[in-house]
Structure 1
Amino acid sequence: MPEQTPLTLVEMWTDGACKGNPGPGGWGAWMRSGERERELCGGEATTTNNRMELTAVIEGLRALTRPCAVTLHVDSTYVMHGMTRWLPGWKRNGWVTGAKAPVKNKDLWQALDAEVRRHEVAWVWVKGHAGDPGNERADALANRGVEVARGAAAAV
């Protein structure tokens, strides 16, 4: 049996921002592995905060070119609970909530589920705007994404 190469360890912080809900929104992801760092951000002209929180995690994981062991720091209880509590039930029940309503943002939850399956992910919730350096950096990137979205909307 061939020896497996150990997974690369990655720490990632993600955040979403929205100015109005719905309104222009942005997402940001900051990751580091050893001495390497990477920043990502983007935005949409009309979106919601929850969609941007989900997009930040999806895009951060999507940017990893091979399977990794990821410690993923999020300040969104929506994302945290969705991935650690609700997702198995949604999938089992055909993407319907316990209240028999369609799961909101199903497209993004399905994309996130696919990305998470590529990696070993440990979920860590952090309090937003409470001084966690990685969270503050992800928040700044998400707000940069809002400005990108506003600029793109103004150019149309």
Structure 2
Amino acid sequence: MKRVELFTDGASLGNPGPGGWAALLRYAGREKLLFGGEACTTNNRMELTAALEGLRALKEPCEVDLYTDSQYLQKALDEGWLERWAKNGWRTREGKPVKNQDLWQALLQAMAGHRVRFHWVRGHAGHPENGRVDREARRQAQEQKAKVQAPCPP
């Protein structure tokens, strides 16, 4: 099984606001940078989208070391939130619908067949790859902002 490194980040200018995401895949000395954005989104949605799109880009089952500065993403997987939500019909402990359920479900599907290990890295702390995907996610968010005609609804 190939071993791949995946570095991800998301950004939004406002919450909600224009947003961007970036994912850097690295395998055998080669890199591929993926990125995109949305006109009206949240930071958490962009963090999830970066991980999702990075995993979707893999063409065969892999061992994936996924690096993120999103505690939301890392804790949901490492602390079992995601499994609990699925068992509870996509409801929180308080009985409220889980936010970003569509992306969480898609992420579960994208992870199937891979061995994914999540690693949390402190954002803006000098981690070179995290800095790189952060800059690209912010650039994508700025591009979306330039296109936006009206503010996002609250």
Whether contact under 8 Å (1:42, 1:148) holds in the other structure is no
In structure 2, the residue matched to 1:23 is 17
**Displacement, 1:117?**
1.3
In structure 1, the residue matched to 2:96 is 101
Whether contact under 8 Å (1:15, 1:142) holds in the other structure is yes
CA distance in 2, matches of 1:148, 1:34: 32
TM-score of the superposed pair, with normalisation by structure 1: 0.91
In structure 1, the residue matched to 2:128 is 133
Q: Kindly provide the amino acid, as one letter, of the partner of residue 128 in structure 2.
A: P
User: In the TM superposition, what whole-angstrom CA distance separates every residue of 1:102-132 from its partner, at most 9, and x where no partner exists?
Assistant: 1000000000111111311011000000001
* Aligned sequence identity (%): 52
What are the ranges of 5 or more consecutive residues in structure 1 without an aligned counterpart?
A: 1-6
CA distance in 1, matches of 2:34, 2:145: 17
What are the ranges of 5 or more consecutive residues in structure 2 without an aligned counterpart?
A: 150-154
Establish whether residue 54 from structure 1 lines up as the match of residue 48 from structure 2.
Answer: yes
Number of residues paired by the alignment?
Answer: 148
Establish whether residue 113 from structure 1 lines up as the match of residue 90 from structure 2.
Answer: no
User: In the TM superposition, what whole-angstrom CA distance separates every residue of 1:12-67 from its partner, at most 9, and x where no partner exists?
Assistant: 11000000110000000112111110101100000000000000000011111111
Q: Kindly provide the amino acid, as one letter, of the partner of residue 68 in structure 2.
A: V
Whether contact under 8 Å (1:40, 1:141) holds in the other structure is no
Whether contact under 8 Å (1:42, 1:149) holds in the other structure is no
Q: Which runs of 4+ in 1 moved over 4 A?
A: none
Establish whether residue 33 from structure 1 lines up as the match of residue 34 from structure 2.
Answer: no
**Displacement, 1:151?**
4.2
TM-score of the superposed pair, with normalisation by structure 2: 0.92
**Displacement, 1:150?**
2.8
Superposition RMSD in Å = 1.1
**Displacement, 1:152?**
4.2
Task: Please give the secondary structure, in 1, of the residue aligned with 2:66.
Answer: strand
